[in-house]
Amino acid sequence: NAGVTQTPKFQVLKTGQSMTLQCAQDMNHNSMYWYRQDPGMGLRLIYYSASEGTTDKGEVPNGYNVSRLNKREFSLRLESAAPSQTSVYFCASSEPGAPKNIQYFGAGTRLSVL
């Protein structure tokens, strides 16, 4: 049981390049999330998907797009990377509804934009 798997683990981009961060979960969860973590700050929600076929903006969605490909997979795309997007990106999943709306996180993707 792998839980939440993110790829790649590390990536370096030049300003203006595009890339897609991949996330897959094998826990049959309905909800999935993308966060970014910057030094000295907590995690900030970029986008989330409450269920397959739906996506919603979080706190910091500008510059990003997402796709909920199926129940297992939720990808994050940077169309034109900027240095301000240098960060560590985390994907998470959960099964909403008390008492088990617990979030499980992937290992993170460390992205540098030069």
Partner 1 sequence: GIQVEQSPPDLILQEGANSTLRCNFSDSVNNLQWFHQNPWGQLINLFYIPSGTKQNGRLSATTVATERYSLLYISSSQTTDSGVYFCAVTFSGGYQKVTFGIGTKLQVIP
Q: Return residues touching partner 1 (CB under 8 A).
A: 31, 33, 35, 40-45, 48, 50, 58-59, 88, 90, 94, 96, 98-105, 107-108
Task: Give ∠ CA 110-93-24 in degrees, rounded to 5.
Answer: 65
Total length of the chain = 114
Closest CB 80 distance from partner 1, rounded Å: 26
Locate 82 and state its tokens: 């900027």
Closest CB 105 distance from partner 1, rounded Å: 4
Nearer to partner 1, 25 or 94 (CB): 94
- Looking only at Cα atoms, what is the longest distance across the chain? 43
Closest CB 16 distance from partner 1, rounded Å: 27
Would you say 90 and 5 are in contact if contact means Cβ atoms under 8 Å apart?
no
Nearer to partner 1, 19 or 107 (CB): 107
